[in-house]
Amino acid sequence: MIQPIFDKYCLSCHGPEKSKGKLRLDTLEHFLKGGEAGSLIDPPGATQSLLGKRLGLPLDDEEHMPPE
């Protein structure tokens, strides 16, 4: 269900050809592995996880994802 969202907004920077922060989101295995900043979903929970925190940052924060 969420893979199309990653395909559209994330894979240009976090895919097999380019993996910023050593993070790839093109397969479940890579997603679960995480990147330089660690796991995207540990600790679990929408707002506590790295993924939740990056998505919830203000749009003008340079750490907000996706950047555009």
Question: What are residue 14's DSSP bridge partners?
Answer: 19
Kindly report, residue by residue over 30-45, the tens digit of the pLDDT.
999 999 999 998 877 7
Cβ(57)–Cβ(51) below 8 Å:
no
Kindly report, residue by residue over 2-28, the tens digit of the pLDDT.
889 999 999 999 999 999 999 999 999
Q: List Cα–Cα distances, 26 to 18, 44, 62, in angstroms.
A: 11, 20, 23
Q: Is the pTM of this model over 0.85?
A: no
Side chain identity at 10, as an amino acid letter? C
- How many CB atoms sit inside 10 A of residue 40's CB? 18
Residue 67 pLDDT greater than 90, yes or no: no
pLDDT score at 42? 83
